């Protein structure tokens, strides 16, 4: 509840990334946001795949529990989670940009987190056939979460896939 309130307040004040130029991939009606509460920096991402489709994303925040967006039709197994692609930055590093590349089927194949100091970490979810497209927060801002776009709802026939994302940038001053 508090996370939803904080995300709504950030959007209301216009401090998160806005506009289509901040989206890597596609936007869809099936989306959710994973965002940090104040004082807990975003530092990592994990992408789990079922049936060659990236359907679960977990975001990591310093000093707080991870948050998960699951658009899989069923729970992920321990084996599937063990094979998940994970990107984490070291303590003290802040995410300032996000990039992604895409598979032949236009699904997210990998997500890379960047710092302004050129440090990077990559979470792989499939075989990329495109170049990475990068979106940066403006100088003095950091990524405090992500808005994730899936190609279909979490319920019903078929397995959903991650097809786009948007960094949620906040002023770090």
- Summarised one tens digit per residue, pLDDT across range 105-157 is 999 999 999 998 889 999 999 999 999 999 999 988 999 999 999 999 987 77
Query: What pLDDT, in 10s, does the model give residues 15-30?
Result: 444 567 899 999 999 9
What does the pLDDT read at residue 14?
A: 41
What are the structural domains, with CATH classification, of the chain? 2-171 (2.100.10.30)
User: CA 156, CA 73: separation in Å to the nearest integer?
Assistant: 7
The mean per-residue pLDDT over the stretch 161-169 comes to 96
**pLDDT of 98 strictly over 60:** yes
| Coil/strand/helix, residue 7 | helix
Q: What's the DSSP call for residue 72? A: -
């Amino acid at each position: 509840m508090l996370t939803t309130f904080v995300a709504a307040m950030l959007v209301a004040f216009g401090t998160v990334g806005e506009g289509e130029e901040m989206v890597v991939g596609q936007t869809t009606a099936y989306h959710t946001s994973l965002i940090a509460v104040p004082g807990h920096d975003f530092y990592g991402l994990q992408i789990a795949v079922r049936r060659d489709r990236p359907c679960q994303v977990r975001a990591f925040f310093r000093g707080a529990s991870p948050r998960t967006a699951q658009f899989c039709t069923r729970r992920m197994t321990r084996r599937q989670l063990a094979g998940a692609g994970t990107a984490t930055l070291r303590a003290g590093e802040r995410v300032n940009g996000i990039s992604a590349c895409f598979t032949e089927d236009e699904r997210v194949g990998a997500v890379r987190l960047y710092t302004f100091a050129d440090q990077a970490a990559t979470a792989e979810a499939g075989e990329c056939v495109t170049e990475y497209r990068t979106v940066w927060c403006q100088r003095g801002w950091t990524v405090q979460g992500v808005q994730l776009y899936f190609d279909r709802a979490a319920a019903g026939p078929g397995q959903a896939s991650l097809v786009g994302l948007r960094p949620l940038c906040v002023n770090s001053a």
